[in-house]
Amino acid sequence: MEIKEINNRYSQLAESECCLSCGGAINYAEPQIGEVCVDLGSGRGTDVLRMAESVGKIGFVYGIDISDGMLEKARRNAEKFGVTNVSFVRSELEKLELPDKVADLVISNCTLNHATDKQAVWDEIYRILKNGGRFVISDIYATTAIADEYRNDPAAVAECWAGSVTRPEYMEHLEKAGFASVEILEESAPYAKGNAEVCSFTIAGKKASGKCSCSS
């Protein structure tokens, strides 16, 4: 039901010019030549194309999205600009159609708040990151818990606010997934969105390298 609502809403927005971001993840991400990058909720594909240029021909970028209209638009954009080191994959955030340990970098902008099972999304981010890989994510959190009447309203979730969780819940998901620490790169003051008060932030973290630093 919710995926259908998201598909409808975002397929309609695919051809519009309206800004769908809530932070500057791409500006902090610094993709390097040869890296494999993933954008969760890639929308029209703008950030994927920017990363494709940064990683060069020996790198690769996956855009993940669930909306048919967005995927079509993103694929057309890649074709228009002759970008070949990208793939736009139709997939839910909670069950990414990507192999384990494929990514050096995972980014996302204003998308994770839509997911019904946020712990599953963070577990998936951890799964697809290589050891030592990193994430840079812009998203929205609610200053107080969203009431169930809105949380279960697919249209309100698709408007990027009713699916948001509180900051402590957000941090708990990250930690449970296995990310030991998180850096806050930017964070807004509280503002009204729909029937909630929310903040936007951009956060970054790393999956442990897997190398033992013990001397004995």
Ligand X SMILES: C[S@@+](CC[C@H](N)C(=O)[O-])C[C@H]1O[C@@H](n2cnc3c(N)ncnc32)[C@H](O)[C@@H]1O
Q: Which positions touch ligand X (CB under 6 A)?
A: 6, 10, 20-21, 41, 43, 65-67, 70, 92-93, 109-111, 114-115, 160
Q: How far is the CB of 20 from ligand X (least distance, A)?
A: 4
Query: In terms of CB distance, is 36 or 140 closer to ligand X?
Result: 140
Cβ count near 149 (within 10 Å): 10
Tokens of 140: 């929205």
* Residue 137: strand, helix, or coil: strand
* Shortest CB 25 distance to ligand X, Å: 8
As measured in angstroms, the least distance from the Cβ of 212 to ligand X is: 36
Question: In angstroms, what is the minimal distance from the CB of 94 to ligand X?
Answer: 7
Strand partners for 41: none
Give the residue from 132, 135, 209, 211 showing the smallest Cα distance to 173: 135
Beta carbon nearer to ligand X, 41 or 133:
41
Q: Which is nearer to ligand X, 26 or 36 (CB)?
A: 26
Compare residues 38 and 129 and give the one whose CB is closer to ligand X.
38
| Residue 17 per-residue DSSP state | -
* Token pair recorded at residue 39: 């954008």
* C-alpha–C-alpha distance, residues 40 and 89, integer Å: 10
- In eight-state DSSP terms, residue 59 is -
